[in-house]
Structure 1
Amino acid sequence: MSKSDHAPPTVRVPEGWRETSSTVETMFDAKVVSVRAHTVVFEDAALRDAIRDRTGVDGTWRFFFASRLRLRPNVTPSKPLTRLVDDRANAGFVDQLGERGFRDVTSVESRRFAVERTEANLTRYRARVRVRTGTDDGTGTDDGTVTDDGTETDGAAVTVAAEGYLAVWPADEGYLVAGGAYPVSVADDGELAAAVASSLAPARHREELFELIRSTA
C-alpha cells in the first residue's frame, strides 16, 4: 500500500534526538513532472547539550533529515527520472549545508547503499564549519559574529571538519531522500578545541547516520 501524498517519512530516531521542523514544498518543477517533498529534520540534542554544558559553545553538531517525494503526474520511476531526482536532491543538500554555515563543501564519492529491499544512491561530502558562542544556532562566518547592533565580535569558536551523506532511492511510487552531517575532528588547538574534540565520536556518528537512513520509510 502506498503512503499518503501528505504523509511524512517515518524515522527511528535514537534517544536524545529531537525533531526541529516538518515542511511540505515543491522540490522542483521540470514541466513534464513536478516533485513535492514532505521533509522532517532532526538534531542530536543530547550532544548539543553536552558540548554546551562543557564548553559554552552551542550549535547543531549532528543533524538528519528525511524527505518523501511525490511525483505529479504519477509516473513510474525510471533511470532518467532517478538521475534527475538524485541530481536535484544533491544540489539541494549542498545548499542546505551552505545555509547551515558549512564551507568548502566537496563531493568525495558516490556508491550504492542497501536500504530495505532495494539500493540507494549514496553520496559522501566533506566540509568545514565554524561553531561559536554568541549566535542563535552556534554557527557563523569566519569573519566573526554580527550582533544586533551591527557590530562584529569574534567570541569563542572552533573550526570543525565535518562529513555528510545523502541517499536517494525509489519508494512507494515516488522517492525517499535521507541524509545528514556530523563532526569528524576539530582543526584548532587549545583547551576549548580539546574539550569539544573529546565529545566527538566520528565512527559512531557515521554508523548512527547510516542506521537513520536505513530506518527511513
Structure 2
Amino acid sequence: MVASPTVPEQRLADWRLATDTTETPFSAGGLTVTARILLYEDDRLRETVRERTGLDRSWRFFLASRLELTPTLPVTGALRGLVASRASRGFADRLDDRGFTAVDRIERRSLRIGDEDARLFRYDARCRVEGVTLAVDGWLAVWAPDRGFRLGGGAYPTGIVDADVSVDESLADCLDPGTFREELFALIRATG
C-alpha cells in the first residue's frame, strides 16, 4: 500500500475529500508505478454558486499524489522526464474524465517547491454546465522530494465563454481566477 501524500489540512477546511484511491497508472519494461491519489473538491464554492445561480457541480478541485516505483530506482533526469510525461498525459485524461473538453497542454515550466524544482504543466480546457460554457485552467506539478515522486494539481474556472441562460453576472461574480490560482499553488507547495 502506497503511503498517503501529506496535504495542508488547515488550508482544505472548506474542501471535501472526494476520493482516496490507489491505482497503477503505468507498468512496462519491468517498471511499475503505483499512485495514491487524494482528490479534494471545493464545497464552499459549489454551495455559493448553487445559491446564486442554481447551477450545481464541482467547480474546482485539488489533487495530491504520492508515487511508488517498483523496483525502486535512483531519481535521474531521464526518470523525472518519464514520470512527468506520463503524469502530464494522465492529468489531461483526468480532466477529460471530469467532464472538461478541449483539454490542451499549453505551457511547461519550473516551479520551486521546497528544495526541488518541479515540472509544472498548464492546461486550457472548457466545461459546459447547463447552458453555460466556462474557460478552465488546470495545473499539474511533478517533483521528487526524498527520492520519491509527488504530484500536485487541480483546475478552476477562469471565466464564462458563452451562456444560453441568464446566469452570466451571478456566476461571473463567483469566479476569482487569480485567487483560485494563488490558493492552488499554495496547496501544491504545501504537499509532501
Is this contact kept in 2: 1:74–1:173, CA < 8 A? no
Selected match of 1:8 from 4, 28, 32: 4
Q: Are 1:158 and 2:154 an aligned pair?
A: no
Cα distance in 2 for partners of 1:168, 1:6 equals: 17
The aligned residue for residue 113 of structure 2 is 115
Q: Secondary structure of 2:12's match? A: coil
Q: Are 1:184 and 2:184 an aligned pair?
A: no
- Equivalence map 1:175-214=2 (5 Å): 175-189=149-163, 191-214=166-189
Selected match of 2:16 from 13, 18, 24: 18
Q: CA deviation at 1:205?
A: 0.3
Q: Secondary structure of 1:159's match? A: strand
The aligned residue for residue 57 of structure 2 is 59
Cα distance in 2 for partners of 1:196, 1:121 equals: 32
The aligned residue for residue 97 of structure 1 is 95
Cα distance in 1 for partners of 2:96, 2:119 equals: 22
TM-score (norm 1): 0.84
- Equivalence map 1:31-42=2 (5 Å): 31-42=29-40
Moved more, 173-182 or 11-20: 11-20
For residues 80-139 of structure 1, the C-alpha deviation after alignment (integer angstroms, 9 at most, x for no partner) is 11111111101100101111111111111111100011110001111110012xxxxxxx
- Equivalence map 1:139-158=2 (5 Å): 157-158=131-132
Aligned length: 189
Write the letter of the residue equivalent to 2:111: F
Unaligned segments of structure 1, at least 5 residues: 133-156
Write the letter of the residue equivalent to 2:174: S
Cα distance in 2 for partners of 1:77, 1:27 equals: 18
The aligned residue for residue 83 of structure 2 is 85
Unaligned segments of structure 2, at least 5 residues: none
Cα distance in 1 for partners of 2:129, 2:6 equals: 30
TM-score (norm 2): 0.94
Q: Which runs of 4+ in 1 moved over 6 A?
A: none
The aligned residue for residue 139 of structure 1 is none
Selected match of 2:146 from 168, 172, 176: 172
Moved more, 164-173 or 61-70: 164-173
